[in-house]
Structure 1
Amino acid sequence: MLSGFADNIATDFRPDLVRWRQLVTPAWLAGLVAGAEVEAPPAADWRLFEAGCGAAVLFEQAHVPGASYFDTACIEQLPLWNKVADQALLALLLARGVRHNTTVILYGRNNLAAARLAHLLLYAGVADVRLLDGGFARWQAGGHACARGPAPTAAAASDFGIAFPAHPEYLIGTPQARAMLARGDGVLASIRTRAEFTGQASGYHYIAAGDIPGARWGRAGEDGDVNSMSAYHEADGSMKPAAEIAAQWAEHGILPGTPTAFYCGTGWRASMAFFYAWLMGWPAISVYDGGWFEWSQTPPAG
């Protein structure tokens, strides 16, 4: 913890979070893009991205001033919607001027898209990744100005600056997930609705119903809505108190200090849970990238 922690945090930040700088409010972001002096300012080299999937037209109609658009289709690949290869991810970041020491601020119309990108930036090794709490909807609800039109093209970076990826431990695949369950020394946390977790519904037209035997339910949102994270969010889309999220995880044996891999259907909801656990300072956390989609299509080893 920082010296003078409670005294040094402005009302724009959350005192219940260890990484309090990384969750920003619309008011803080509005001050930053207006050139005002803000608490916990980013590095001189910072980028603002709206993350979305196939929503470039909506971005051009209205977006946070100074933002560029980052489509998640660039960072995921068929057939399972897992992340692209490391070299492809690196090329995408460098093309957008992102190095390890670039502050990257993210938001989305669906903030799960921003969380998906945030997780992969942390995996890559970007040290200062920040998320707009409540996303674009909360920006608009606060009456903040929007810009129109395409974003200007950023200057590309020539190198990332450190070994890539810097945090491979933040992402696991199916063999590692199976090994975790077999050893019994970690938890697979299912960030899915109750109906998905109990196998009563799939949530996706292209994924079979069911869930991973031995996984623990980490909750998500309303049945029938794979974009809902109401168990984690207030009515305005902002993050619930950290203690409340930790308590609902503890009910199902998801505890800080125990190696935990979050997963969902294809990665978005799991990435939000990961990011919140990361904000809370949980150690030994990761995202199981393939999630139920890959698990359901992969025969057991042997």
Structure 2
Amino acid sequence: MKKLFVILTLTIGLIGCGSKVEEPKDQVIKKGSVSVKEVQKAEKDKNIVLMDTRSYDEYNGWDLDGKGINGHIPGAVNYPTSAIKDGDIEKALERKGIVAGNEIILYGKESKTMAAALIEKGYTVSIFDGGVDKWAEDSLSFEKLKKYETIVPVSWVKDLLEGKKVNHYDGRPVKVFNVGWGEKGKPHKEGHIPGSYWMHTGWVEEGPLWNRVDDVRIKAEMERQGITTNTLVLIYGDPLAATRFGVIAKYAGVEDVRMINGGLKGWKDAGYPVETEMKTPKPAKEFGAEVPQNPEIIIDLPEAVELLKAEDGDLISIRSWREYLGKVSGYDYIKPRGRIEGAKWGMAGSDPWHLEDYRGMDQFHMRPYTEIQKMWEGLKINSKNHLAFYCGTGWRASEVWFYAQAMGLQRISVYDGGWKEWSETKETQKKVLKGEPKVLNEESFMN
């Protein structure tokens, strides 16, 4: 017992220090290993949880080992071993619906390291012998994020920029943008992915409502940044800001816009080099189409009102619980408090600047999509409806839109004006509610 305690202490200590962790000995596994048949039986046992300890990207569908394996074993939750260092293990398990008394079956390269951490918390753990390789060998099916190629791994970006052959790339011109606030690009000067350009969100949105700029200016900005409809645009930085720009680029007509999963943190964690030199992209002579090519991606106040009246439409509030209840406005430049009458709450995070409910524990990766799906089911959000996400002024809503399109949802939009526009417009400013609803997400919009 003393020997087991020493092994566990060393393992957890190494994880906390961020050092390279050696695989612990088999003695930390309480239940040994299990077979394919046992994994299949476990799918019907609610007390047993199958856990994929590989990266977020592999779980989504990326074949990072070149073995032709895309996705995860059906029913598995995702908790990368690398994410142990990013936050409270018990909180991470709670987000995945794992409770005391659950038995956990692990698979993935570093499952023994994860097992040590879970056993220390009191869980009964076993390892699926062979993992995804054995599953594929037996010709069993996998599940994946429907449009996983829109959320790209940092390793894929590095290979692409180095001219290596990569999957899901058709040879079109590439531009990488580090997106945030600040015309002079201070965050970019402090270090960025080599070859990437700075994008200030103030070039595509403006006050006082902080809606997108007009279509003529959007087109001009795309051309100034060297972007055409045929450019592959890769975005990273502050995920809220990056996706705000990404949604506007998609609205304009850029065919291929993708988010770098993990962003600069993921890039650095992988040990990849950064640069500090500021570079200006060569302008494009012509964007290649009139703007907008995809007007349905962004809706304005009149469309938001109509959506609230529609039987197959929902306006989804991507704001913190305190904002939703009307206890705070969330912003120093927005005075009114409350929520849009008839809108549903889609969860968000702790405040206007965070989106914990939609991200992995490190706050830079997309949260496993299966968890988002379950969260929406619990909130009575029907993904078959036309969903328009809104927040204060569009940033949080844009990030959720990006994840929803990766999940394969077809009818999704961002309500650009959000709470600021709704609460400050004469025609709608009284169509608001405050306080805790009698039944969550069953309020109606009164004509």
Q: TM-score, normalised by structure 2?
A: 0.62
8 A Cα contact 1:263 1:269, kept in partner: yes
Equivalence for 2:421: 294
Give the Cα–Cα distance (whole angstroms) in 2 for the partners of residues 52 and 16 of structure 1.
30
Which amino acid in the other structure matches residue 299 of structure 1?
A: K
- 1:280 correspondence with 2:333: no
Q: What CA RMSD, in Å, does the superposition of the two structures yield over aligned residues?
A: 2.0
Instruction: Choose the corresponding residue for 1:136, options 264, 275, 284.
Output: 264
| CA deviation vs aligned residue, 1:192-233 (integer Å, no higher than 9, x gap) | 1111111112211111221111110111112xx212111111
Moved over 4 A (4+): 12-15
Give the Cα–Cα distance (whole angstroms) in 2 for the partners of residues 42 and 23 of structure 1.
16
- 1:232 correspondence with 2:285: no
Give the Cα–Cα distance (whole angstroms) in 2 for the partners of residues 283 and 145 of structure 1.
37
Instruction: Choose the corresponding residue for 1:60, options 160, 166, 189.
Output: 189
Give the Cα–Cα distance (whole angstroms) in 2 for the partners of residues 186 and 199 of structure 1.
23
Give the Cα–Cα distance (whole angstroms) in 2 for the partners of residues 201 and 141 of structure 1.
36
Instruction: Choose the corresponding residue for 2:291, options 161, 164, 167.
Output: 164
- 1:105 correspondence with 2:225: no
Instruction: Choose the corresponding residue for 1:260, options 381, 387, 396.
Output: 387
Instruction: Choose the corresponding residue for 1:11, options 53, 58, 64.
Output: 64
- 1:44 correspondence with 2:172: yes
Equivalence for 1:32: 160
Give 1:240 deviation, angstroms. Answer: 1.5
Secondary structure, counterpart of 1:47 in structure 2: strand
Give the Cα–Cα distance (whole angstroms) in 2 for the partners of residues 198 and 58 of structure 1.
34
Equivalence for 2:113: none
8 A Cα contact 2:319 2:349, kept in partner: yes
Which amino acid in the other structure matches residue 11 of structure 1?
A: L
Pairs within 5 Å for 1:236-247: 236=362, 237-247=364-374
Which amino acid in the other structure matches residue 282 of structure 1?
A: L
* Structure 1, 267-276 or 126-135: larger mean CA deviation: 126-135
Secondary structure, counterpart of 2:403 in structure 1: helix
Give the Cα–Cα distance (whole angstroms) in 1 for the partners of residues 382 and 187 of structure 2.
39
Give the Cα–Cα distance (whole angstroms) in 1 for the partners of residues 220 and 294 of structure 2.
17
8 A Cα contact 2:150 2:406, kept in partner: yes
8 A Cα contact 2:317 2:346, kept in partner: yes
Q: Which has the higher contact order (CA 8 A, sep 6+)?
A: 1
Secondary structure, counterpart of 1:281 in structure 2: coil
Q: TM-score, normalised by structure 1?
A: 0.91
Equivalence for 2:398: 271
- 1:204 correspondence with 2:331: yes
Gap runs ≥5 in structure 1: 1-5
Give 1:160 deviation, angstroms. Answer: 2.2
8 A Cα contact 2:360 2:368, kept in partner: no
Give the Cα–Cα distance (whole angstroms) in 2 for the partners of residues 196 and 142 of structure 1.
36
In structure 2, do the counterparts of structure 1 residues 34 and 128 end up closer, same or farther at CA, with 3 Å as the change threshold?
A: same
Secondary structure, counterpart of 1:129 in structure 2: strand
Which amino acid in the other structure matches residue 81 of structure 1?
A: W
Pairs within 5 Å for 1:62-211: 62-108=191-237, 110-151=238-279, 153-207=280-334, 208-211=336-339
Secondary structure, counterpart of 1:271 in structure 2: helix
| CA deviation vs aligned residue, 1:165-205 (integer Å, no higher than 9, x gap) | 11000111111111211334310000011111111122111
Which amino acid in the other structure matches residue 359 of structure 2?
A: H
Equivalence for 2:101: none
**Structure of larger gyration radius:** 2
Give 1:9 deviation, angstroms. Answer: 4.6
Which amino acid in the other structure matches residue 216 of structure 2?
A: Q
Give the Cα–Cα distance (whole angstroms) in 2 for the partners of residues 9 and 66 of structure 1.
24
| CA deviation vs aligned residue, 1:91-112 (integer Å, no higher than 9, x gap) | 000111111111000101x111
Give the Cα–Cα distance (whole angstroms) in 2 for the partners of residues 48 and 140 of structure 1.
16
